[in-house]
Each structure stands twice: as structure tokens, then as C-alpha cells.
Amino acid sequence: MRIALVSDIHGNLPALQAVVADIARRGVTQVANLGDSLSGPLLPLETARFLMARDWVQLAGNHERQILHPHQRTASDAYAYGQLGAGELAWLATLKPQARLSAEVLLCHGTPRSDHEYFLETVESTHVRLASPAEIDERMAGAQAAFIACGHSHVQRAMRAASGCLIVNPGSVGLQAYDDDHVHFHVMQNGSPDARYAIVEQGENGWTAALIAVPYDWRPMAALAERNGRPEWAHAIATGYAMPSHQ
């Protein structure tokens, strides 16, 4: 089994198209999208239509849930909701927060127990750190798998649970830095604008992961974010860092 993992596209269609071209160049035909596909001030409608035309396994992230529930929407969710039509919203409503590809393979957006929880990072009051083995085991919530894919934190990472299960976050296709106040205020940033994804493969000795960064022309998306009144998105898309005022 060989799978390309994409996640956290956030309406950045040019970044997604660059990733899809790179996946095709590497000869991978099975793709799984781990969610948070549309939310943000970019191209939610065009991205939804692109994804709806793909024969991929696709999950709902926390932002899909928030787009569909008016009392949960952030400004980014509200923008996406306003751009989508009835068909795209109906498609979003069909997406689930996790899926099994086989008895060995589990896909989720955050963790098996929550779409709004980092799997491989822990937010402290002063910083973000790697999750401990005990925290990872707790967040698995008893899930039995040899391989788990997760997204949500936008940070590419591959770690193993105490059981030997490989857990891979492919990073974000479309947004390489952001700040959040869930649990505590914190910043996540990758330090370059490249679109991120991963390829995982099952071999004789178990699962392996390749974490990949793909350059693309980010300038139109940064300009679009600026025009839509989101300079912090423009800065993150252009640099991979959060704006200084947001750190």
C-alpha cells in the first residue's frame, strides 16, 4: 500500500495543484485528504469543486464542522461559507472526521478522539512542545492500527507510539503559519512558503514515510489574502512565518 497524504489545504488551490502534480510525477495513485480544506480568505469554492472531482478518501476537519454550524464559524469559516453553493455545502456534510483504509490504517484530522486536538504536539502556556509517549498513547483513545495519519497542526512530523504504530502528519498544503488560542495562545510556523504533503508506504519492515515540500507560485494567494483584509494570512503564505504582531 502506497498513499499520498494531503491536509489543511485552506482554500489554497495553486498550492494543491502543485502538490497533485508532484504526486502524479511520483506515480502515486491513492490519495487521502485529512480535512480543513476550504476555510480561509482564498479560493474555497474553486478548491471544493477541484476536490469534489477527485476519487480520493476525504475527511472533515474541525473547519468543515465549523463552516456547517453558524455558531461555530470563525471569520475564515464565514468567508468560506459565503462563497460556497448548496452543492458544495451538501458535499461537506457527507464528510466524516475519520476513516479506515484497512484494519491497519486509520485516518483522522486531529486525533481519533477529537478533530480539534493536536496529536504530536502539546500546547503549554509558554510554548509548543513535542507530545510525550504517554500523551500520544492517551490521544490514540484505544485505536488499534499499525499506521495513523493526522493533520490539524500544519507541522510535518512522523513519530511512533509505544505500540510501534507510526503516526504521520503530512503538514499543510496551503497555510504554513498561523496563531491560535485553543488551550493557550500559540504560534505554529514552518519557515518557508512551500506546500507540504507526505507519501507513506507499507514495506517488509512496516510503514515508512517521506515528508515532502513543494515550491509553487504563492504570490497570487498572498495578494488575494491581502485584498480580502487578511494581512496575517498574506504574510504566512509568503514567508511560512506568523506576522510579528501575531507571535
SS3 letters across 79-137? HHHHHCCHHHHHHHHHCECEEECCCCEEEECCECCECCCCCCEEECCCCEEECCHHHHH
Q: What is the pTM of this model?
A: 0.96
Percent of the chain with pLDDT over 90: 95
Give residue-wise pLDDT tens across range 97-142. 999 999 999 999 999 999 999 999 999 999 999 999 999 999 999 9
Vertex 42: Cα angle to 65 and 11 (nearest 5): 50
What integer is the mean pLDDT of 213-232? 98
HSE-CB at 245 with a 13 A cutoff on CA atoms is 4
Q: Which domains does the chain have, with CATH numbers?
A: 2-246 (3.60.21.10)
pLDDT of residue 183: 86
Give residue-wise pLDDT tens across range 155-198. 999 999 999 999 999 999 999 999 998 889 999 999 999 999 99
Give residue-wise pLDDT tens across range 230-239. 999 999 999 9
Q: Please state, in angstroms and rounded to a whole number, the distance separating the CA atoms of residues 207 and 147.
A: 7
